[in-house]
Chain A
Amino acid sequence: MHIVRRQHRVLVQGITGKQGTFWTERMLDYGTNVVGGVNPKKAGTTHCGVPVHGSAVEAAADLRDWGGIDATVLFIPPLAVKAAVLDAVEAGAKTIVALTEHVPVHDVMVFLAAAREAGTTVIGPNTAGTVTVGECFLGFMPAFNGRIFKQGAVGVISRSGSLATLMCQNITSAGFGINAFLGIGGDPIIGTTTLDALEALDNDQGTEAVVIVGEIGGTMEEEAAEYAATMDKPVIAFIAGGAAPVGRKMGHAGAIVVGDRGTYESKQKALQAAGVTVLATPSDVGGALKERLGS
């Protein structure tokens, strides 16, 4: 996956809706290079100061002489997400951020197969998006709140938006700052895994340490642990859901322990064995960063 940068040309699919409008204004204010939007019924109009196109494919064609599109972000209802992502893949977007919760998993598998074939990165679904601090953000994270996102050298990966916001605020208030936030999403099958995000931050020059905000369910943290063991950059993790009962979906579709799979203990053990500092509570992140990075 690529970290989205300020020069990347971003298309907002579903730009004219209430959330699309609200967050497009925030993204533009922050510096995201939003070059257009999509709504088939309002093609040819202007919204939030950018042109609205009939589809991502049309947008890419219209904008070809100005550099086309690099990334798209989707404010699209669940049952329409498949068509919108396939449209963005066909349009040649390199990164697609799918924010929507409750997208049917069969739809997700279809568009992830198409994206994989095209070499496109899908982030999500069911994510709050990404923030490249001081450059741009895609989605609905409070990037513009300086007490949460102060520029620095910590990369953050999270399956949850609310918990990541708290973690970022704790990092910032401890005197550190954030370089990039990658919200990967709370669904059981997602385009960018913890491992993919960890590799991207490991390869990113601006990132000196990584904080993983994981959850019970699945095996993504265990897979990321294997890679973390090979990294020079320190990795710190918090896993939510240690107090959750077995067999219940804890808000996120992916946050469920089935039998002995996806447990807190399994993740904690794998991460600790890989040399990752596992936090007992999110408040401990500042102390752990001081210890691992020096203050």
Chain B
Amino acid sequence: MNFEEHAAKPLLTAAGIAVPESRLARTPEEAAEAARDLGAVVVKAQVPAGKRGKAGGIKTAECAEEAKAAAEKILGLEIAGHTVEKVLVEERSDIAREFYAAILNDPATKGPLVMFSTEGGMDIEDVAEKTPGAIRQAKVDIRQGFGPEDAQAMLEGLDLGDARDGIADVLAKLYAAYRDNDAELLEINPLVVTASGGLVALDCKFVIDDSALKRHRELAATGTPDKLTELEARGEEAGIKYIELDGDVGVLANGAGLTMTTMDVIRHHGGRPANFCEIGGDAYTKARTALEMVLDKPGVRSLVVNFCGAFARCDVMMEGLLEAWDEVRPELPVFFSIAGTGDEEAIEMLKRKLGMDPLPDMDAACQAAAEAAKKAAAAEAAKGGA
């Protein structure tokens, strides 16, 4: 789960890292009010995405009137698919130098990775490409932790002036905040040295590990949940992994890998998958909701049901699905592929209840569904033209 800047910065404050004074504003008037208290400010769009400046989401203001005008321009902007509903009005800092600091979970070393760059305010990927010498990395043994001495060792050889000890202190505190909050990523960009010599975090990005949300309930409430479509929100509520796509061939399968592959194979045969919908594990008991959701997507013209029983048995999944069938009564063309544990029983149930046979394999089922969707689309077009 991502956090907007205003929700991420309190983690830094709690860890003892300085941030500028700021107020959250939802209207231009609130922004003006905040600027009246704070003086010269920066007005920043609050969305869980990077590159806000390039999108016109960050503006400076000298006084309340300018802050109001800036907020008027920024509120309502679309940035990376998010509509800006609030701005952070933040006291302006006198910037002498800008740095970059981050801690992240690194799959390559299977541990935390501390990153620091003397080129703050830029994308770290760009810095890595253009001036790799500006970047320092430290691999951390998570059982040992990362203290100011480790940070000092990491920073050796970089020209940091008087800021060295302060930066080492910030990195150690940032690491503590990363650990305390089960962060996937905790980033300060830029970390600035002010004209008076202080170190201040001007922006903060925080992504929490979704698997750890259970032990951070209060914090999770301040995060920004993924932007979901109506159907996706319904899926989340019902505990079903559903992702809406732009095609017309519905997908109902068990297990993440098999469900993804069903989408791939539909596309391989010239079709366009309409969704990802996984009903493996214990989710087969939710077959009815899953079936309804897949069919409720507007424009779905055919359906692939792809079961491969391993942990979840095909016959158990089929029982749930057939019960749902009675209530939902799908009318579009449906193509089954059934393999794995419990397949023979499931095929028997399908014959008995719906008088249908599965196709020989998932390719046949996906191909048939792709063709049925195309046929239906052509028929609709002909009807529309007549």
Residues of chain A at the chain B interface (Cβ within 8 Å): 78-79, 102-106, 108-110, 112-114, 116, 128, 140-142, 145, 148, 158-166, 169-170, 186, 188-189, 191, 213, 215-216, 218-219, 238, 240-245, 248, 250-253, 255, 259, 280-283
Contact = CB atoms under 8 A, between A and B. Distances in A.
Nearest to B273: A243
Given A105-B212, A106-B209, A251-B276, A243 B256 contact: no
B243 A250 contact: yes
B241 interface: yes
Interface in B263-282: 263-268, 273, 276, 278, 280
Contact of A242 (B179, B264, B309, B310): B264
A142 B142 contact: no
B340 A280 contact: no
B256 A160 contact: yes
Given A162-B254, A283-B361, A243 B264 contact: yes
B211 A103 contact: yes
Interface stretch (B107-115, B161-169, B187-195): B107-115
B152 interface: no
23 contacts: A103-B211, A104-B182, A128-B310, A160-B255, A161-B310, A161-B311, A162-B257, A162-B312, A163-B255, A165-B310, A166-B258, A186-B257, A215-B257, A240-B257, A240-B260, A243-B245, A243-B263, A245-B243, A252-B256, A252-B257, A253-B211, A281-B363, A283-B363
B310 A140 contact: yes
B261 interface: yes
Contacts of B256: 160, 162, 186, 250-252, 255
B325 to A, nearest CB: 22
B302 interface: no
Given A141-B310, A160-B258, A251 B278 contact: yes
B260 A244 contact: yes
A158 B257 contact: yes
A30 to B, nearest CB: 13
B70 interface: no
A112 B280 CA distance: 28
B215 interface: yes
Nearest to A282: B261
Chain A interface, DSSP helix/strand/loop, else mixed:
loop
Given A113-B142, A142-B341, A189 B215 contact: no
B260 A148 contact: no
A103 B214 CA distance: 11
B267 A243 contact: yes
A141 B310 CA distance: 6
Contacts of B263: 243-244
Contacts of A216: 260
Contacts of B107: 188-189, 218-219
Contact of A282 (B110, B141, B179, B362): B362
A191 B111 CA distance: 11
A162 B280 contact: yes
B296 interface: no
A142 B111 contact: no
Interface in B73-118: 105, 107-108, 110-112
Contacts of B339: 165-166, 169
Contacts of B341: 142, 145, 148, 165
Nearest to B272: A243
A142 B309 contact: yes
Interface string B208-248: 01111011000000000000000000000000010101000
A244 B363 contact: no
B315 interface: no
Contact of B258 (A105, A110, A162): A162
